[in-house]
Structure 1
Amino acid sequence: MSWHLFTVFFITTFFISATPGPNMLLAFQYGLNYGVKRTLWTLAGLSLGLFILLLSTLLGLDVISRQSPWLLDIIKVIGALYLIYLGVVSWRDTGDSSGLIEDAEEMSADIASAQETITATISNWHLFRTGIWVSLSNPKAILFFAAFFPKFINFAAPLWSQYALLTLGFFLSESIWQLIYTLGGKKLAGWLDVGNRLTWLNRTCGVIFILIAIALLVEVASTF
């Protein structure tokens, strides 16, 4: 993999990771509730859950690329259509339905109600398990990985070195934004909730999704 391609990958994942999805909302709310130091346990759980989903996806792509190359083209087309769908949804998401603080509090309440017992003193192990649970409870992540990563993988070259580099870049961007959401707290939420800032962040990600989808479709068409 060239450094130019890796740079494009990192920049796109950095923008996508900035959007306030479940992982970022959890980091934000727990940072407010439990402080930065203890929320690091939750961030570790989020990262482990994401790693499990990503590893499962990459292993599947590896097997398919070696045993059924034609199926890989089908996955790319389906992935491109899914990215177009995500792009349209992101573009239309104005972020006006509720503020980030309200979203984070609602998510925190849902998590609390789903746990068997919530004690007055939450253990570090509990924070860690909650992070894993939130990551693994989002099966859409597998669809996203399967749709997004193939554009940046050269399946004719050794794969595992590419997997390692892409995984490193993805987790670097995710970790940076998880820390920003944890540390930023209400300041970040207040900044994004002002005017159209969150809307334009969503629209930027929507454009990125659609551009990658077009590139995938062109790549598949060029093989015929």
Structure 2
Amino acid sequence: MTPSLLMAVLASGFIYGITPGPGVLAVFGIGAAHGRRAGAGFLCGHLLGDVVWCSTALIAIVGAREIGSTAFDVLGVLSGLYLFWLGVRAVRARRSHVEAPQGPARQPFWHGILFGLTNPKAYPVAVATFTALLSSRAELLHWSMLPWLIVLSFIGGLMAYAILIGIVGARQVRSLYQRHELAITRLCGVMFIGFAINALVHALPGLMPNKA
């Protein structure tokens, strides 16, 4: 495994874990209401869902690559379009006056597991994010390295969650996040659009007819 591929997988796991979404909003609400320990418990449970969805996404990506470059390029185009759609939605987002759900106070760990495993957007976002960041290194992906890919994505997710655990639990943090939530969401939208363009740039040439 090359250093560039290693860093790409780590970055994919990190970005998937730290990008604002339902899970991040929930942990900020739980942490502010019940403390850092409850927020950490929620994230530890939520990590199981991340491992399941990221592993499934990596299996799909490597499988598409092994089937042939055309299948991977098609996956890259679909992922790019999906990320672009998410990015445009985020950039055009408007402020919400609805409070983020805080979840049960007594069993945040089990709440995190249920939350992580039942998020309907988890799998497509994981596939799109990993495909966008790994598309330029598609030729390096093989079944033999799948366990390492899963481990590296897990480490990336842990790094993201370590940062989240470090900042949750303070009402000031939640207040700051809510105050700038729209700007953060739009910034993430721009980032998703950038990932989408990267995926499309690497996938579309492979689907173009060869005129030579």
Query: Which category describes the TM-score, using the shorter chain as reference length?
Result: 0.7 to 0.9
- Consecutive unaligned residues of structure 1, counting only runs of 5 or more, are 113-120
Tell me the TM-score normalised to structure 1 length.
Answer: 0.75
State the partner residue of 2:116.
135
Secondary structure at the counterpart of residue 42 of structure 2 = helix
Unpaired stretches in structure 2, ≥5 consecutive residues? none
Identical residues among aligned pairs (%): 24
Q: Is the 8 A contact 1:14 1:174 kept in 2?
A: no
Instruction: Report the residue type matching 2:111 in the other structure.
Output: T
Tell me the distance in 2 between the aligned counterparts of 1:219 and 1:171: 29
Is 2:172 the counterpart of 1:187? yes
Conserved 8 A contact 1:73-1:220 = yes
Q: Equivalent residue for 2:132?
A: 151
Instruction: Give the alignment partner of residue 165 of structure 1, picking from 152, 173, 198.
Output: 152
Matched, 1:221 2:194: no
Which residue does the alignment assign to 1:2?
3
C-alpha distance in structure 2 between counterparts of 1:143 and 1:40, whole Å: 25
Q: How far, CA to CA, are the matches of 2:68 and 2:59 in structure 1?
A: 14
Amino acid at match of 1:75: L
- Structure 1's 172 and 69: CA in aligned 2 closer, same or farther, altered over 3 A? same
Determine the structure 2 residue equivalent to 1:48. 48
Higher mean displacement: 201-210 or 59-68: 59-68
Q: 1:193 to 1:38 in 2, by over 3 A?
A: closer
Retained in 1: the 8 A contact 2:91–2:185?
yes
1:199 aligns with 2:163: no
Rounded to whole Å, the distance in 2 between the matches of 1:3 and 1:38 is: 36
**Structure 1 residue 82, shift from structure 2 partner:** 0.5
Report the CA distance between 1:133 and its aligned residue.
0.7
Contact 1:44/1:128, CA 8 A, preserved across alignment: yes
Distance 1:199 1:82 in 2: 21
CA deviation map 1:117-162 (0-9, x unaligned): xxxx83xxx3221101111111211101111112332232254344
What is the CA-CA distance between 1:62 and the residue it aligns to?
A: 2.1
- Could you report, residue by residue, the CA deviation over 1:25-61 in whole angstroms, capped at 9, with x for unpaired residues? 2222222343323443222101111111111111222
What residue number does 1:175 align with?
A: 162
Show the counterpart of 2:86.
86
Q: Which moved more, 1:146-155 or 1:131-140?
A: 146-155
Structure 2 contact 47–113 (Cα < 8 Å) conserved: yes
Tell me how far apart the structure 2 counterparts of residues 41 and 16 of structure 1 sit (CA, whole Å): 15
For 1:83-116, what per-residue CA distance to the aligned partner results, in whole angstroms no more than 9, with x for missing partners?
111111110113x222xxx522xx23xx55xxxx
Q: How many Å separate the matches in 2 of 1:18 and 1:150? A: 16
Counterpart for residue 212 of structure 1: 195
Superposition deviation, residue 18 in structure 1: 4.8
How far 1:188 sits from its partner (Å)? 1.6
Asked if 2 retains the 8 angstrom alpha-carbon contact of 1:18 and 1:177, the reply is no
Equivalents in 1 of 2:61, 2:3: separation in Å?
A: 20
Classify 1:188/1:218 alpha carbon distance in 2 versus 1 (closer, same or farther; 3 Å).
same
1:48 and 1:76 map into 2 onto residues whose CA distance is 26
Change (3 A) 1:178 1:221: same
2: distance between equivalents of 1:38 and 1:8? 29
Q: 1:191 to 1:140 in 2, by over 3 A?
A: same
How many pairs does the alignment contain?
200
Alignment of 1:28-67 (within 5 A): 28-67=28-67
